[in-house]
């Protein structure tokens, strides 16, 4: 029986489905940027790759709200880098894929791609595995050093030049890797392993702005090697979302089996603007709408859009317009430590504030006072929802997904996370009475 080579063993220990161009990702309809969208963000990242901006930064952290389009940008960048000859490796984490939701196969997957991208490194990397087939049981630091860093440094010491320059590694969805300590450890290991490399290496990491990742990226050991890019309104997501919706509906009108029944001027510019507004800058809402509207060959697309717009009811209980979006919300809320405290804060934001209008409870300080919590408790509570809710440096609270309230107020969608409007208003009335009693007590003290 032939003995497996080092590269064969390396391949068997790799998560090949995590590579950006894998069949597994293709079958899952991996998100990618719509043509002529996200150009400003992509151009900014390319400038960093080429050293035009933040030339000393080894790592660029691309972060944004859940559904903001990070994976699509990472995928499109991987394709651009591959076409330019810069890409040496990619790893796309995914929460429901057993080989992609942990770090066990991470280094082997990266090393396998490095060996394929840099022919001169193949024998060196293969020799390491042949000498120690159990290296995959060792720490991430040891694997990175032995399988990637040392082989590349050996090539440099021999004066060999690579055709690939710069060397780009793209990691997406790091927040979907199991274990917050493992996520932080990967960042630290990558920074420590590559920061002294004589090669121009660029590592793009895309994720949600989870608290543990913010803490890690802000640590003194990472900061000198880091550049950060937030997917915010600065990059005009609404314009891109409008273009995506416009082109997607045109495609539905061209290709849907029932296209002949679709009204000629459907949908109107007014409807497109309304759908863009409801997307609140998050591509996942827009893409979920498009998949639902055009995804049923035996149903009229314009009627399904009316379901989205609440002008028509769904045809059955199985007809779920927001299935993908609901899955996202369940995932984020399902990872919360104290869900009852989170629901209490969300109840104030989503149910009470629209009634209060201009006097709404819109900051962490006011929320702490209203709920009789200790100072800082609201920020600590909502920090678990950093990919859905933002608390700025002044403590002002913003809900990043306009559709979150629809989800939470619909029991059939949110289930155990459901916010009962009547119960919340009853609790808020009780809190209001306590506030009056507190103020009366303080007034009496002042009168003494």
Same domain, 270 and 229: no
Prior bond of 238 cis (ω within 30°): no
Domain-located, residue 123: yes
The helix (run of H) or strand (run of E) holding residue 236 is none
pLDDT at residue 2 in the model:
47
pLDDT at residue 448 in the model:
46
What DSSP designation does 3 have?
Answer: P
Per the structure, the count of domains in the chain is: 3
Same domain, 393 and 425: yes
Determine the Cα–Cα distance for residues 209 and 219; give it in Å rounded to an integer: 15
Token pair listed for 30: 């991996």
The helix (run of H) or strand (run of E) holding residue 91 is strand 87-92
Determine the Cα–Cα distance for residues 126 and 128; give it in Å rounded to an integer: 5
- List 213's β-bridge partners, or say none: none
Domain-located, residue 367: yes
Same domain, 291 and 222: no
Q: Residue 418: which CATH number? A: 1.10.10
Same domain, 300 and 355: no
pLDDT at residue 236 in the model:
75
pLDDT along the chain (448 residues), means of 10: 73 94 88 92 96 93 93 96 94 93 95 92 92 92 93 82 78 94 95 86 95 94 94 83 96 96 95 94 92 93 93 80 91 92 95 86 94 95 92 91 93 95 94 84 52
Phi then psi dihedrals of residue 204, to 5 deg:
-95, 125
Question: 235, 255, 280 — which closes off a domain?
Answer: 235
SS3 156: helix
What DSSP designation does 220 have?
Answer: T
Same domain, 112 and 134: yes
Same domain, 64 and 184: yes
Please give the residue range of the domain that contains residue 367: 334-446
CA distances from 237 to 65, 111, 430 (A): 12, 35, 41
Determine the Cα–Cα distance for residues 424 and 25; give it in Å rounded to an integer: 42
Domain-located, residue 361: yes
Determine the Cα–Cα distance for residues 348 and 38; give it in Å rounded to an integer: 34
Same domain, 147 and 24: yes
Domain-located, residue 241: no
Same domain, 299 and 220: no
Phi then psi dihedrals of residue 214, to 5 deg:
-60, -45
Determine the Cα–Cα distance for residues 181 and 216; give it in Å rounded to an integer: 10
pLDDT at residue 242 in the model:
96
Question: 310, 326, 342 — which closes off a domain?
Answer: 326
pLDDT > 70: what percent of the chain? 96
Domain-located, residue 240: no
**Helix, strand, coil % (nearest 5) of the chain?**
60, 10, 35
The secondary structure of 292-333 as a DSSP string is HHHS-TTS-HHHHHHHHTTSS--SSTT--TTHHHHHHHHHHH
Spatial contact of 168 and 20, defined as CB atoms under 8 Å apart: no
Same domain, 185 and 305: no
Determine the Cα–Cα distance for residues 208 and 332; give it in Å rounded to an integer: 11
Domain-located, residue 93: yes
User: Which among 263, 227, 232, 279 is positioned nearest to 64, based on CA atoms?
Assistant: 232
Same domain, 128 and 204: yes
CA 419 to chain centre: 25
Determine the Cα–Cα distance for residues 84 and 61; give it in Å rounded to an integer: 21
Same domain, 101 and 213: yes
The secondary structure of 182-247 as a DSSP string is HHHHHHHHHHHHHTT-SS-EEEEEEE---HHHHHHHTSTTTGGGEEEEE--GGG-HHHHHHHHHHH
Domain-located, residue 204: yes
Domain-located, residue 173: yes
Q: Residue 230: which CATH number? A: 3.40.50.300
Question: 326, 342, 371 — which closes off a domain?
Answer: 326
The helix (run of H) or strand (run of E) holding residue 93 is none
Same domain, 183 and 103: yes
């Amino acid at each position: 029986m032939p003995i497996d080579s080092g590269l064969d063993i390396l391949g068997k220990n790799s998560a090949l489905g995590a590579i950006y161009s894998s069949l597994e990702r293709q079958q899952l309809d991996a998100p990618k940027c719509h043509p002529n969208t996200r150009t400003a963000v992509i151009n900014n990242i390319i400038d960093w790759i080429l050293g035009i901006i933040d030339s000393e930064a080894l790592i660029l952290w691309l972060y944004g709200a859940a559904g903001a389009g990070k994976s699509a940008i990472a995928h499109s960048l991987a394709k651009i880098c591959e076409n330019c000859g810069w890409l040496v490796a990619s790893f796309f984490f995914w929460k429901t894929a057993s080989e992609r939701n942990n770090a066990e196969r991470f280094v082997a997957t990266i090393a396998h791609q490095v060996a394929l991208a840099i022919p001169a490194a193949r024998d060196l990397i293969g020799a390491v595995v042949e000498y120690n087939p159990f290296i995959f049981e060792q720490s991430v630091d040891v694997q990175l050093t032995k399988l990637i860093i040392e082989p590349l440094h050996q090539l440099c010491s021999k004066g060999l030049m690579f055709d690939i320059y710069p060397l780009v590694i793209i990691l997406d969805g790091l927040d979907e890797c199991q274990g917050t300590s493992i996520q932080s450890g990967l960042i630290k290991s990558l920074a420590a392993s590559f920061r002294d490399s004589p090669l121009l290496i660029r590592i793009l990491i895309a994720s949600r702005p989870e608290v543990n990742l913010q803490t890690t990226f802000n640590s003194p050991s990472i900061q000198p090697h880091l550049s950060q890019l937030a997917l915010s309104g600065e990059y005009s997501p609404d314009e891109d979302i409008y273009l995506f919706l416009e082109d997607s509906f045109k495609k539905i009108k061209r290709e849907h089996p029932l296209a002949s029944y679709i009204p000629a001027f459907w949908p109107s510019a007014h409807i497109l603007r309304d759908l863009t507004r409801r997307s609140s800058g998050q591509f996942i809402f827009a893409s979920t709408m498009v998949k639902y509207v055009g995804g049923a060959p035996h149903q009229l697309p314009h009627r399904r859009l009316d379901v989205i717009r609440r002008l028509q009811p769904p045809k059955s209980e199985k007809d779920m317009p927001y299935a993908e979006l609901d899955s996202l919300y369940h995932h984020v809320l399902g990872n919360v430590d104290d869900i009852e405290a989170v629901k209490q804060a969300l109840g104030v934001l989503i149910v009470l504030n629209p009634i209060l209008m201009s006097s709404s409870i819109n900051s962490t300080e006011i929320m702490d006072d209203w709920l009789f919590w200790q100072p800082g408790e609201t920020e600590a509570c909502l920090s678990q929802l950093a990919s859905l809710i933002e608390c700025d440096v002044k403590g002002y609270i913003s809900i990043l997904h306009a559709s979150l309230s629809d989800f939470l107020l619909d029991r059939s969608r949110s289930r155990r996370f459901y916010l009962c409007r009547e119960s919340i208003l009853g609790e808020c009335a009780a809190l209001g009475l306590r506030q009056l009693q507190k103020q009366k007590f303080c007034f009496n003290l002042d009168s003494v």
